[in-house]
Structures are given as C-alpha cells and as structure tokens.
Amino acid sequence: MYPVSFIMRSDQNAAAQRLGVPLAVIKAVTAVEARGSGFIKNTDMPCILFEGHWFHKFTRGAYDNHYPHLSYAKWTKQHYKGGRGEYDRLLEAITVSDDPDPALRSTSWGLFQIMGFNHEMAGHATVREFVNAMAESEGNQLKAFVSFVEAEPELAESLRSQQWSDFASRYNGPGYKKNQYDTKLAAEFSRARIKLDEEASGDRLAFERGDTATLQSALNVALDAGLTVDGWFGDKTRQALISFQEREGLQETGRIDSETCARLGIDVSSYSLEA
C-alpha cells in the first residue's frame, strides 16, 4: 500500500486563495460536502461510487441485458456495495467493456465525489489523468473541487458571497432543502470561524489530518514513538506529544502549539492566515 497523503492546511489555504474566499468557507464546504476522508479506511484507494445509469448512457445500453447490476437506464441505489465493493463493480465494468473510460467516467471520486465525466471541469484533460490525480492525495481532490467551482462562475460567486442556499441549490440540486445542506453549511462556517479565531492565539493549533500525520512522523523520529502515521490525533499521539514536551522542558499540555512544533521542526506558517 502506498502512503496516503491527507489534506493539509496549506491545501486549504491555496484553495481559499484561488476562490477568493475566507479559509472558513473552504473548511465549511469540506465538512458538509466531503465524505470525511477521500480514501477508504486502511487503504490507498480513493472513495468511489460506481453509477450504473451513467455506464448505461456512455455504453448506449450495450450491457443492460447481460450485466443488469452494472448497466441500467434509471438511477437506483439497489446495486451499491460501498467501500471496496464499489471497486468490484468498477473493475467488472472495465472488464466487460473494451475501453475503461466509460466505467471511469461513470464513477464519482474522492472527498467531493466528482464524477469522472466532469474531469475537464475538474482541471484534467482526460478521465485517466483525473483518476490518477484523485489517487495521489486529498490535496488533489480539493484542487479538483476548486477547478470544478471555478468552471461555474455563479457557483463560485455564491461561495464568495456566502449565499449558502444558492450554493447548495447549484451544487447539490433541488433536493438540498430536504438534507438541509444550506443550514449545515452556515453552521459549519460559524464553527470554523470560531475555531480559527481560537487558533490565532497560538495556544492550540487545530491540525488538519495531513499535518497531524507530519506530527506523528516527527514524534517517531524524535522519540522512536512507534506511532501509526494515520493522521488521527488519538491517545497514543497525545501521550507521545506530552513525552516530547516533557523532554524539551515545555508545558506538558498534550496540545499542538507553535513552540512544540518549532522544537519538532514542523513548519506551521500555513496556520497563520486569516480565517
């Protein structure tokens, strides 16, 4: 398994700068629209969902009769398997057709579940190039989302003006009210602003998962801590951080702060931008 590259604050800052929005907007949209992780747990496989109705459309129904679980005219969730099971469906669809592109285009990818057929809007000339980028990192998945938003000026403007209902309507479709996407976006934006304001004091840095993985690697080097570099700040990581703070004569808070990171050689300049 290849090391998974999770989202970092520098990725979010770059996204905010490209779209001309506060960082809190990016964090809010990621919290609501993303799946929590762009990769299936304990794998280097991007989260995907194979959509048989799109495969039907791209192959003109050629496989409907012999592979009704892969190709069908109308959307249904009946055939979803979730997780690794979606790769079984995708690989079978690639196998039955001579060209892998229809299956890749019929699949949504990564944190923001961007459909393969939207690869150009997501900043990639071909669907295969898009898929390879989605498999490399969550940072690439966020870049694809930014490109997708940039390709729709009205969608981008709704983010800049923080018109949550307009953004949700355009991005999620007319059913957004049922799922309260606009309300959730507004709440996550407020929550992100509060956390970022607290972070500005420097007493506690709310590391993104990719930056937490960097912290874990640094603690492994400094202490031979034996931490699993998974980006999750759990009890073992906290205890290792306390041990390092104790060794360095720092206040033993178990919190990620600027001084502790400086001693570990971790650059936290990306955590100094405005919310």
User: pLDDT tens for residues 223-249?
Assistant: 999 999 999 999 999 999 999 999 999
Structural element, H or E, at residue 23: helix 23-33
Class for the domain spanning 209-271: mainly alpha
Strands 107-109 and 48-50, bridge-based pairing? antiparallel
User: pLDDT tens for residues 84-97?
Assistant: 999 999 999 999 99
Query: Which residues, including other chains, have CB under 8 Å from residue 72's CB and lie 6 or more apart?
Result: 52, 53, 56, 64, 79
Confirm if 206 and 49 have CB atoms less than 8 A apart: no
User: pLDDT tens for residues 46-71?
Assistant: 999 999 999 999 999 999 999 999 99
What does the alpha-carbon distance between residue 271 and residue 89 come to, in Å, rounded to a whole number?
41
What does the alpha-carbon distance between residue 259 and residue 266 come to, in Å, rounded to a whole number?
10
Between 196 and 52, where is the model more confident?
52
Is 35's pLDDT higher than 80?
Answer: no
Enumerate the domain spans of the chain.
9-42+119-199, 48-109, 209-271
What's the token pair of residue 163? 């018109």
Percent of the chain with pLDDT over 90: 86
User: pLDDT tens for residues 242-273?
Assistant: 999 999 999 999 999 999 999 999 999 998 75
The candidate with the shortest Cα–Cα distance to 242, out of 257, 252, 232, is 252
What does the alpha-carbon distance between residue 55 and residue 6 come to, in Å, rounded to a whole number?
30
